[in-house]
Amino acid sequence: MTPLSRWLLAFGVAVVVLVASTGTAMVPYDSDEESAAFWRRQGLEALTRTLHRVQAANPDEARRVAKNVIVFVGDGMGVSTTTAARIYKGQRQGRVGPEGATLAWERFPSLGLFKTYNVDKQVPDSAGTATAMFSGVKSRYYMLGLEARARLGRCDLEQDHHRRLGSIMGWAQMAGKHTGFVTTTRVTHATPAALYAHINHRDWECDTKVPDDQRDCVDDIARQLVESQPGSNFRVILGGGLKQFGQVQDYNATWDDSCERADGRDLVAAWRGGKERAQFVRTREQLLDVNVNEADYLLGLFSPGHMPYALETNVTDYSPPSLADMTLRAIQMLSKGPDGFMLMVEGGRIDQAHHANMAHLALEETLQLEAAVEVALRIVDLSETLIVVGADHSHGFTINGYPARGNDILGYADEENKYQTLTYATGPGAIPSIRGDPDSVYHRHFAPTFLKDAAHGGEDIVVYATGPLAPLFTGVFEQNYLAHAVSYAACTGPLAYMCPFRTGSVSAGHTSAAAAAGATMLLLLAGAALRILPHC
């Protein structure tokens, strides 16, 4: 080998080593991100910057207070889903130019983007994203209500107590507000569970799902909902999940891996214990018959597992309410609170339809969420109610090709080449034999790569807001920002101490005093970044 050859070989090896090292030795994330303090500081700094902008544009807006807050979550509802649902809505209505249809939240005055990654995943799951939204702290994939220093699937009895995260619901309860949530999934599923649970694995919904060696360390999610705060203080809980509460046996659910309790606990009876004027309902008729003036607490479990899709017609044993029905009753119940309320409403089966590559079901579930938003808009006072609509994450779901205007959004973009307008990156639709009839609501759209459940998408999601302090949601934010913005807007939790600087301390007409109070507010917010928030 000549000297030149040896030099070229050595240079090539060096380049390969350099490329390999820069490609694989990259530090995935700053270890500080595992600390709750990191995300609290980051969220409060983002809030301070946004408040400065809002105050400069409209000082009166920055001083408003939201007596009530409703957060609507379309699980898996990325931009491609809302676009396709908008077109689907227009076509279902027989609209000329269906692409020009509008979803209810698209008329809101403020919108922004949320970055959805988990501390340890570029593309997140619902447990990590919901924990971020509702606690103000980003955490790990598949964990609920614990900072990222906790371990997935392994409870630490001594340390995890200090790793628990507060939530917007606990903060609201401390402020005297009535709280509750509504979902089309099990009430113990990832998104609602992030409101109240602190657990090392999202699947630990009942005792038989918790590993034997972990049961002395942590209660299952259903027990935490009934027996621990803030779950035990919810005024309204509506969704699926009878099995998790020990109410039914031998139920064969499609798609649903619901667990059965082995400890003999009747959690409905446990929920009733100690509560006056508490009502439990199992059907739509029972829900609509509830006299809200005679009930202070309402638990509705309408199916053994997840609630059926809105388009399903083969459910005969249960008569479930719609998401709009549940939202209406929840608002009516919670509105009795003199100090306001906090409500979360989840269209949870959008995500599950996408996991199955069933685009038709996903789009219909999106319109079910829209119907729930429209109910809220009709009955709340927007001068005192902040409404936020968003998603926890997106899906690997795309709108393809060059279909003509008015083309069936669920059909083929190109009849000659036979490819669908709506396709997925992954999922069961990769197998032609299980795609089914294209005209069926259960048809699975094409995916090039097989996965049992289609994977999520990692792009930013859109958040829409209306009501007091809606401009706080204009911009690009980390997803944990939502909890900080809600805390400030509603005068709850870590930013409740800011309320005297916004309501009553400045008399009408004293603009210089108002400006001084605003400056003080921003300084205090900057200092608040170092505060340790309560573990509510």
Give dist(CA 353, CA 360) in Å, integer. 8
Q: What's the start-to-end Cα distance of the chain, in Å? A: 71
Report which DSSP code applies to 123.
S
Q: Return the structure tokens found at 233.
A: 């203080």
Average pLDDT over residues 131-150: 98
Q: What is the DSSP letter of 392?
A: S
Q: Which pLDDT tens digit goes with each residue over 18-77?
A: 334 444 556 788 899 999 999 999 999 999 999 999 999 999 999 999 999 999 999 999
Give percent of the chain with pLDDT exceeding 90: 80
- Is 208 one of the annotated binding-site residues? no
When pLDDT is averaged across residues 332-336 and rounded to a whole number, the result is 98
Mean pLDDT of the 133-148 span: 98
Picking from 468, 504, 524, the residue whose alpha carbon sits closest to that of residue 513 is: 504
d(CA 497, CA 147): 24
**Pair 118, 124: CB distance under 8 Å:** yes
SS (H, E, C) 74-102: ECCCCHHHHHHHHHHHHHHCCCCCHHHCC
Q: Looking at residue 520, what is its pLDDT?
A: 44
189 is in an annotated binding site: yes
Closest to 401 measured CA to CA, from 391, 382, 385, 416: 416
pLDDT tens across 467-486, in order?
999 999 999 999 999 999 99
Do 168 and 483 touch, CB atoms closer than 8 A? yes
Please state the rounded mean pLDDT for residues 385-392: 99
Residue 268 predicted with pLDDT over 90? yes
Q: Which residues contact 129 (CB under 8 A, 6 or more apart)?
A: 116, 118, 392, 393, 479
Phi, then psi, of 457 in degrees rounded to 5: -105, 155
**Averaged pLDDT, 384-403:** 98
- Rounded to whole angstroms, how far apart are CA atoms 291 and 224? 28
pLDDT computed for residue 12 by the predictor: 45
CA distances from 39 to 190, 228, 230, 403 (A): 21, 25, 22, 44
- What average pLDDT does range 203-212 have in this prediction? 96
> Given 80, 126, 139, 303, which residue is catalytic?
126
Judge whether 335 and 341 are in contact, CB under 8 Å. yes
CA dihedral (484, 488, 493, 498) positive or negative: positive
pLDDT in tens, 229-266: 999 999 999 999 999 999 976 555 544 566 889 999 99
Q: Is 427 left (phi over 0), alpha (psi -120 to 50) or beta?
A: left
Q: Where along the chain do the CATH 3.40.720.10 domains lie?
A: 125-346
Asked if 126 is an active-site residue, the reply is: yes
Confidence of residue 529 (pLDDT cuts 50, 70, 90): very low
Split at pLDDT 50, 70, 90, the class of 506 is very low
Are 356 and 76 a contacting pair, CB within 8 Å?
no
Strand 397-399 versus strand 422-424 pairing type: antiparallel
How far apart, in whole angstroms, are the C-alpha atoms of residue 499 and residue 492? 9
Pick from 301, 360, 300: nearest CA to 330: 300
Residue 355 annotated as lining a ligand binding site: yes
- Two tokens at 386? 């902040």
Q: Do residues 203 and 221 lie in contact, with contact meaning Cβ atoms separated by under 8 Å?
A: no
- For residue 500, is pLDDT > 60? yes
pLDDT band at residue 416 using 50, 70 and 90 as cut-offs:
confident
The answer to whether the bond into 230 is cis (omega within 30° of 0) is yes
- Which tokens is 59 given? 């000082």
pLDDT in tens, 269-326: 999 998 999 999 999 999 999 999 999 999 999 999 999 999 996 655 567 999 999 9
Structure tokens at 168: 């917007």
Phi, psi of 278 (to 5 degrees): -105, 130
Least confident range of 158-162, 350-354, 485-489: 158-162
What is the secondary structure of 269-314 as a DSSP string?
HHHHTT-SSEEEE-SHHHHHH--GGG-SEEEEE-SSSSPPPTT---
Confidence category of residue 393, pLDDT binned at 50, 70, 90: very high
Compute the average pLDDT of residues 367-383: 99
Q: Which residue has the higher pLDDT, 191 or 11?
A: 191
Q: Provide the β-strand partners of residue 21.
A: none
Q: Is 351 annotated as a binding residue?
A: yes
Instruction: Kindly tell me if the per-residue pLDDT of 530 is higher than 70.
Output: no
Partners of 301 in beta bridges = 239
- Asked if 418 and 412 touch (Cβ cutoff 8 Å), the reply is yes
Determine whether 11 is exposed, middle or buried from the number of CB atoms within 10 Å of its CB (0-12, 13-18, 19+). Answer: exposed
Q: Does 510 score more than 60 pLDDT?
A: no
Report the pLDDT averaged over residues 525-530.
49
Q: Which residues of 186-209 are buried (b: 16+ CB within 10 A; e: fewer)?
A: bbbbbbbbbbbbbbbbbbbbbbeb
**Per-residue pLDDT, 251:** 54
Query: Is 191 annotated as contributing to ligand binding?
Result: yes
For 506, the 3-state DSSP assignment is coil
Is 75 labelled a binding residue?
A: yes
pLDDT the model gives residue 417: 84
Count of beta carbons in the 10 Å neighbourhood of residue 348: 29
Calpha distance 98→89 (Å, rounded): 7
N residues, the chain: 536
Using CA atoms, how far residue 411 sits from 92, 98, 213, 308, in Å, is: 14, 15, 50, 24
Q: Which CATH class is domain 125-346?
A: alpha beta
pLDDT value at residue 274: 85
* Residue in this structure with the two tokens 């916004």, named with its chain if needed: 502
Structure tokens at 441: 């609501």
Residue-level pLDDT at 118? 98
Q: Is the pLDDT of residue 4 over 70?
A: no
**pLDDT (tens digit per residue) in 32-42:** 999 999 999 99
User: Shortest CA distance to 330 belongs to which of 265, 376, 261?
Assistant: 376
In order, the DSSP letters of 424-450 are ESBSGGGSGGGT--TTSTTPPPP-SB-
The confidence score (pLDDT) of residue 101 equals 95
